C-alpha cells in the first residue's frame, strides 16, 4: 500500500473520488495479480489531484505518479490525456483519472465505442451486456 496527499473524503469532503480496480487492467490479468486498486481524490472546482492511494503488489512502484501530479498541480484531465504504454501498471493511474470525465477505457463492464472516441463522448455499455 502507498499513498500521498489528502487521505480521503473525510479530509476533503467536497473531493470527487474514483477507484480503478486492477481486475480491469490488462497487465494485472497477464501477470495474474488482479487484487488491488488506485483511488484518486480530485477537487471538483479545479480538477486538481488532491490525493492518491494505491493498494496492491506494485503500489510502491506507482505512487510516484500521484506525487508528481500533486506536486505540479496537474489535473485529472491532464492525466487522462497522458500516453501510457499497454499493457503496463501505470495505465491504472491514468484510468483512475479518466473516470472523472467518463473517458476510462478499461472500466470493468464498459467500453467506448469508436464513434464515442472520435467525438469524445460518454461510455456506452458493450452490446449484449446485462444491465
Catalytic residue list: 86
β-sheet bridge partners, residue 5: 51
| Residue for grid cell 473517458 | 103
Whether 22 and 13 have beta carbons less than 8 Å apart is answered as: no
User: What are the start-end ranges of the E strands in 43-117?
Assistant: 49-56
Cβ neighbour number for residue 45 with a 10 Å cutoff: 7
Q: Are strands 49-56 and 2-5 parallel, antiparallel or unpaired?
A: antiparallel
Amino acid at each position: 500500500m502507498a499513498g500521498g496527499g489528502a487521505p480521503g473524503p473525510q479530509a476533503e469532503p467536497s473531493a470527487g473520488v474514483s477507484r480503478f480496480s486492477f481486475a480491469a487492467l490488462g497487465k494485472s490479468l497477464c501477470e495474474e495479480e488482479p487484487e488491488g486498486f488506485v483511488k484518486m481524490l480530485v477537487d471538483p472546482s479545479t480538477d486538481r489531484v488532491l490525493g492518491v492511494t494505491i493498494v496492491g503488489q506494485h503500489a510502491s512502484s506507482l505512487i510516484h505518479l500521484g506525487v508528481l501530479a500533486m506536486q505540479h498541480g496537474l489535473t485529472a484531465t491532464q492525466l487522462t490525456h497522458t500516453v501510457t504504454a499497454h499493457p503496463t501498471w501505470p495505465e491504472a493511474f491514468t484510468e483512475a483519472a479518466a473516470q472523472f470525465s467518463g473517458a476510462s477505457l478499461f472500466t470493468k463492464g464498459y467500453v467506448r465505442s469508436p464513434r464515442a472516441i472520435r467525438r469524445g463522448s460518454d461510455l456506452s455499455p458493450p452490446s449484449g451486456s446485462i444491465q
